[in-house]
């Protein structure tokens, strides 16, 4: 991060197939060792026990925890599953964003019917005070995410995890990504709701920065994506 001039970031445990994800308390402990560079995001599983534990952990680390994450498509629950109600109540009361995995899943066993970004429309309608962040720009459903951002004042997105390798039409794919994101910005009327991210090591910092450079938008919109939007939304 330091090599690329990145001074603050969020850390969370990724979905792992056939392995145990890093527990939330370990993520918080790692962030504590970063001298303020990293802030934790608490991943929430769809059981009453796990939701309660996530809320308690956030309460115990109130100054540190910046958001929650729900892994739509990887868990057997939708965004509007009743199990998450108390989580949304707490997040809304504390002004904590909730990140949702949206779009393609890393494994063939993922459930796209639950990770499609339009599944968040109902939640955004019912929870206008909840800050909702659609991770990965809903890839490949960029236009749907653009509509959700335009329609809902409380819906945001990020550009994390969009570049996953260098095989095949890698260069053409990055060009396509830049075009899709630029068009989404045109539709939304600005970049105020798009947040920089990497999902490192899925996407390298250099790759994510290069993607922003390729966007056919004004420089001040690139600045919003690179830092000011995240600073505002996550209170960094």
Beta strand pairing status for 132-135 and 9-11?
A: unpaired
CB 44 within 8 A of CB 69: yes
Q: Cα–chain-centroid distance for residue 202?
A: 14
- Residue 19 above 60 pLDDT? no
| CB of 71 closer than 8 Å to CB of 43 | yes
Rounded Cα–Cα distance for residues 40 and 156 (Å) = 19
Tell me the pLDDT band of 18, cut-offs 50, 70 and 90.
low
Q: Tell me, what's the pLDDT at 167?
A: 72
Contact of 2 with 10, CB cutoff 8 Å: no
Structural domain tally of the chain?
1
pLDDT tens, position by position, 136-176: 999 999 999 999 999 999 999 999 999 987 677 999 999 99
pLDDT of the residue at 20: 64
Q: What percent of the chain has pLDDT over 70?
A: 97
Place of tokens 């026990």: 49
pLDDT at position 229: 97
Two structure tokens written together for 10: 């969020």
Rounded distance, CA 190 to CA 224, Å?
Answer: 10
Question: Looking at residue 13, what is its pLDDT?
Answer: 83
- The encoded tokens of residue 138 equal 């809903």
Q: State yes or no: pLDDT of 1 exceeds 90.
A: no
Residue 22: its pLDDT value, please?
A: 82
- Alpha-carbon distances, residue 186 vs 89, 158, 160, 210 (angstroms): 33, 16, 20, 20
In order, the DSSP letters of 192-223 are TTEE---TTTTS-HHHHHHHHHH--S-HHHHH
Reported as a single tens digit per residue, the pLDDT across 37-75 is: 999 999 999 999 999 999 999 999 999 999 999 999 999
With pLDDT > 90 as the criterion, what percentage of the chain qualifies?
86
Mean pLDDT for 172-187 is 97
The residue segments making up the domain with residue 143 are 2-234
* Cβ-based neighbours of 165, under 8 Å, separated by 6 or more: none
What's the CATH number where 104 sits?
3.20.20.140
Residue 111 is predicted with a pLDDT of 94
Q: Sign of the C-alpha dihedral, residues 160, 166, 168, 173? A: positive
Strand, helix or coil at 133? strand
> DSSP string spanning 36-81?
TSEEEEEEE-SSHHHHHHHHHHHHHTTTT--EEEE-BTTBS--TT-
């Amino acid at each position: 991060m330091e090599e690329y001039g990145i001074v603050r970031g969020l850390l969370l445990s990724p979905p792992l197939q056939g392995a145990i994800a890093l527990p939330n308390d370990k993520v918080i402990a790692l962030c504590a060792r970063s001298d303020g560079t990293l802030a934790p995001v608490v991943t929430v599983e769809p059981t009453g026990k796990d939701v309660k534990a996530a809320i308690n952990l956030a309460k115990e680390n109130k100054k540190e925890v910046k958001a929650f994450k729900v892994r739509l498509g990887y868990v057997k629950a939708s965004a509007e599953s009743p199990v998450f109600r108390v989580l949304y109540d707490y997040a809304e009361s504390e002004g904590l964003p909730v990140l949702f995995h949206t779009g393609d899943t890393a494994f063939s066993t993922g459930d796209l019917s639950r990770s499609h970004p339009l599944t968040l429309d109902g939640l955004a309608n019912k929870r206008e005070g909840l800050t909702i962040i659609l991770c990965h720009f809903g890839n490949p459903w960029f236009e749907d995410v653009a509509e959700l951002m335009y329609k809902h004042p409380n819906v945001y997105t990020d550009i994390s995890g969009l570049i996953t390798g260098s095989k095949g039409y890698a260069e053409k794919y990055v060009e396509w990504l830049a075009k899709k994101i630029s068009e989404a910005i045109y539709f939304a009327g600005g970049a105020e709701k798009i947040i920089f991210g990497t999902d490192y090591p899925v996407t390298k910092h250099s790759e994510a920065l290069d993607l922003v450079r390729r966007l056919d938008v004004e420089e001040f919109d690139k600045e919003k994506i690179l830092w000011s939007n995240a600073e505002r939304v996550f209170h960094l």
